Structure 1
Amino acid sequence: MKIPFQMSSAPALLVLIILFICVGCQQQMSTNDTSNDKDSIQASAPAPADSVQKEDFSQVTFLDGGGKPVTLESLKGKVIFINFWATWCPPCIQEMPSIDRLKQTFKNRSDLVFLMVDVDGQYEASKAFMDENDYDLPVYTPQSEIPTAFLGNAIPTTVILDKQGMLVVRAEGGRDYMEPATVKALNDLLGN
């Protein structure tokens, strides 16, 4: 007996949602193969500073868990590592352990700041995720508009600003942030 195949709207909707998430996240993270330079921060760096448009990001503002605003202006003089992510994004979740280890590597540096920005503005869910996984990564939500120079159409996206507040790295897609080239690039920015 032959049974005709019919797809109800619920499974079709589920398939569309999964495709949307995969396309939205855009890029799966590579494995722990540290010999692949395409995943390092250095490979994602834009052209030399002379040719980079010098935008003023000083008024970009995020909120911490207590609702206190943090402007990028208030962080000048520090290297700023900003990761835009969401709890529903598989590549975001996959890169999180390496970001946590990177932060631990530089834990004694007061001139390096990590901002984990939940693009959905769901602070409580993101904070719960960090706590459940024992990550020491501070969660923020956007208060001001996120500049397109920071975030395009994909997450995860990481941007790094130098001590003068200039954008020096914009990396879309998941990465292994513990690659030697990444650690070296941060040390160079910090002046080590």
Structure 2
Amino acid sequence: MKKVFNIAFIGLILMMLFVPEVKATMQQGLMKLGLFNPNLENTTLKNTPENTPAEKVETATYKMDLIDQQGKKVSLEDLKGKVVFINFWATWCGPCIAEMPSIQKLYDKFKDNPDVAFVILEAEGNKEKAGKFMEKKKLNLPVYYPDGGFPAEFFRGSLPTTVILDKQGNIAHVTEGMADYSGQDIVDFMNKVIAMHP
């Protein structure tokens, strides 16, 4: 009996290591326990109305070219004036898969807000695989693909990585690694960033 238990335990560990879906399910369970909330306490909001006169607000100049699901080219510059939620992910990444339902919940709360844009950036540019993944998981997130490099300030190779930009394109928040974006804390943070520059 002990031998069967050991084999089953080793099998479960191997599945968690090598099967992204199994790993993602386990990680989603941990997220529900509140173990992977984005750390918003250490976030510094630059150029807030309270500390910067409106005429002195600087605009960031990050360059990033994207392709949307329909093949249309989009530049990060095109999204200036909006709060931009960027999530770098890949279909093989267990933590990316685990956090996607929470990103969907956040997206559903802001999708009709003209001051917010979501960029769910499949980092490897695998359009067919990403499309099948979204369909299988019944997600309707706006998926984009890279059309060139990423600013080093946004992405240092860790998947998933989430970046929130303010309306001037400044980095308002970065999370490297998996996080749960379904809570009220992130909604409040997004609303705060939206209100920064009316």
Q: TM-score w.r.t. structure 1 length?
A: 0.76
For residues 175 and 90 of structure 1, do their structure 2 counterparts lie closer, same or farther at Cα, with a shift above 3 Å needed? same
Q: Which residue of 1 aligns with 2:168?
A: 164
1:102 aligned to 2:106? yes
Residue of structure 2 aligned with 1:42, choices 37, 40, 43: 40
SS at match of 2:139: coil
SS at match of 2:32: coil
Q: Which residue of 2 aligns with 1:11?
A: none
For residues 98 and 85 of structure 1, do their structure 2 counterparts lie closer, same or farther at Cα, with a shift above 3 Å needed? same
- d(CA) in 2 for partners of 1:114, 1:138: 7
Opposite residue 46 of structure 2, the aligned amino acid is A
Residue of structure 1 aligned with 2:69, choices 65, 77, 83: 65
For residues 69 and 41 of structure 1, do their structure 2 counterparts lie closer, same or farther at Cα, with a shift above 3 Å needed? farther
Deviates more, 1:93-102 or 1:123-132: 123-132
For residues 56 and 44 of structure 1, do their structure 2 counterparts lie closer, same or farther at Cα, with a shift above 3 Å needed? same
Kept in 1, the 8 Å contact 2:122–2:144? The answer is: yes
For residues 107 and 65 of structure 1, do their structure 2 counterparts lie closer, same or farther at Cα, with a shift above 3 Å needed? closer
Kept in 2, the 8 Å contact 1:92–1:156? The answer is: yes
Q: Which residue of 2 aligns with 1:56?
A: 61
Kept in 1, the 8 Å contact 2:85–2:165? The answer is: yes
Matches within 5 A, 1:56-135: 56-57=61-62, 59-135=63-139
- d(CA) in 2 for partners of 1:184, 1:43: 12
SS at match of 2:81: coil
Kept in 2, the 8 Å contact 1:41–1:185? The answer is: no
Kept in 2, the 8 Å contact 1:44–1:171? The answer is: no
Q: CA RMSD in A?
A: 2.5
Q: Which residue of 2 aligns with 1:31?
A: 31
- d(CA) in 2 for partners of 1:157, 1:54: 23
Kept in 2, the 8 Å contact 1:81–1:160? The answer is: yes
- d(CA) in 2 for partners of 1:107, 1:65: 17
- d(CA) in 1 for partners of 2:40, 2:123: 24
Structure 1: give runs of 5+ residues left out of the alignment. Answer: 1-14, 22-27
Structure 1 ranges of 4+ moved more than 6 A: none
